[in-house]
Amino acid sequence: MASREDPAGASGGAPMPQRPPGRARTFAFARPLWLLVGAFLAVAAALVLWNVLRPAPYSYLSEPLSNPTVATDFTLLSASGPVHLSDWDGKVVVLFFGYTHCPDVCPTEMMQLAKITASLPSTDRERVAVAMISVDPERDTPQVMATYAHAFSPAFHGLTGTPDAIAVVAKQYYVSYQKTDQTGPDAYFMRHTASVYVLDPNRRLTLIYGGDDLASHPDHIARDLRHLLTRSS
Amino acid sequence: MALSATLAAPPTLTLQDAWLRWIPAPVPNTALYGVLVNDTNVDVRLVGGTTVLAASCMPMTTHKEDTGSPSGPVVSMVPVEALIVPAHGRLRLEPGGDHLMVMGLKSPLIEGTEAELTLRFDGAPPLTVNVPVLRK
């Protein structure tokens, strides 16, 4: 490894007083140079090590919304009284808009949300609030919503409200809904956005999942929820 | 023996891996899922069904429509006149897709019990099935 310029003689060699002045100058020049090379190598090695060892940036299932803003607070009705979105500040909030007469899509998604939250460690599960908001407030009373939501998980929240209150909240999440195939005053279906909205513990809308994601990537979604919790703590 | 029995059996329409989704009372609607297998030479149309459990059964399909909204697709369940089981083919009834809606449940469904339903077709005789009530 020793090179021709290696000033080994300089570092160990003859006693200083015997050296000619020229040699002393070389010695004075060489030491800072080698210190510099050593420092450079040390920094390079540290950078390589950092790149190898640092955790990769977390990759969410769906691209997080850029510049998330704090969601507007709302007040809706549960069977045990009014519920405010801000009641869940400090938790990850999962919102789903649906209706209890829905025979297919809504129970499918609620069932998946129940599986996903059940897969979380209990300390994380307690910090995730899942709420289904009715887009059919005419038929979905607070009691019906509670029965429905609790059937999937006792911890789930079923929320409804006046048609006006629902409309205001739905608009904030760009949720559209309308009656279809009405055959009687009480006989109709709803056409509705069936995505799932995730707010971080600071109430910022961060992730939106399509309904199909719940069935196809439940484990990734569970990791996303946990990551939102750890990110904030 | 088994082979001759198979050969002797007339072409059939069967429902496989079927289940009725458990839903909490008082929710009135649920759905029947499974795979209809048509071993006959003609297309068969599922047009409805009957069960003592509910007022009516209706073939439905779930549409997903991308409206370009940042919030994702809009879904709707649409009643259809019939769902087609092609000759020597199959029709999947599955969550988020085609299904037989069971409307107007008369009493609460009990998870783990069996439910009897009779499916009605154009092109095949009615098919009576016993399916488990599952919470999934």
Angstrom distance (rounded) from CA B22 to CA B109 = 6
Query: Which architecture, in CATH terms, is A75-232?
Result: 3-Layer(aba) Sandwich (3.40)
More confident residue, A222 or A10: A222
Please tell me the distance in Å from B82's CA to the nearest CA on chain A: 16
Residue of chain B with shortest Cα separation from A114:
B136
Q: Residue A134: its pLDDT value, please?
A: 97
Domain ranges of chain A: 13-53, 75-232
B23 reaches A (C-beta below 8 A) = yes
Q: What is the DSSP letter of A54?
A: S
Give A150's contacts in chain B (Cβ within 8 Å). Answer: 24
Q: Residue A17: its pLDDT value, please?
A: 52
C-beta of residue B105 within 8 angstroms of C-beta of residue B25: yes
Global confidence as pTM: 0.79
Chain A segment 211-230 residues within 8 A of B by beta carbon are: 211-212, 215
C-beta of residue B86 within 8 angstroms of C-beta of residue B123: no
Alpha helices in A156-198 (DSSP H): 163-172
pLDDT at A231 over 50: yes
pLDDT tens digit sequence for A195-225 = 999 999 999 999 999 888 999 999 999 999 9
Using 50 as the pLDDT threshold, list the residues of chain B that sit under it: 1-2
Q: Which CATH number fits domain B21-130: 3.40.50.10470, 2.60.40.1890, 3.30.2270.10, 3.40.50.970?
A: 2.60.40.1890
pLDDT-based confidence at residue A63 (cuts at 50, 70, 90):
confident
pLDDT tens digit sequence for B87-97 = 999 999 999 89
pLDDT tens digit sequence for A149-173 = 999 999 999 999 999 999 999 999 9
A192 reaches B (C-beta below 8 A) = yes
Q: How many CB pairs under 8 A join A and B?
A: 97
Average pLDDT over chain A, rounded to whole?
Answer: 86
pLDDT-based confidence at residue A229 (cuts at 50, 70, 90):
very high
Domain ranges of chain B: 21-130
C-beta of residue B129 within 8 angstroms of C-beta of residue B18: yes
- Residue of B66, B71, B81, B134 to mutate for A, most A C-beta atoms under 10 A: B71
The length of chain A is 233
Please tell me the distance in Å from A144's CA to the nearest CA on chain B: 7
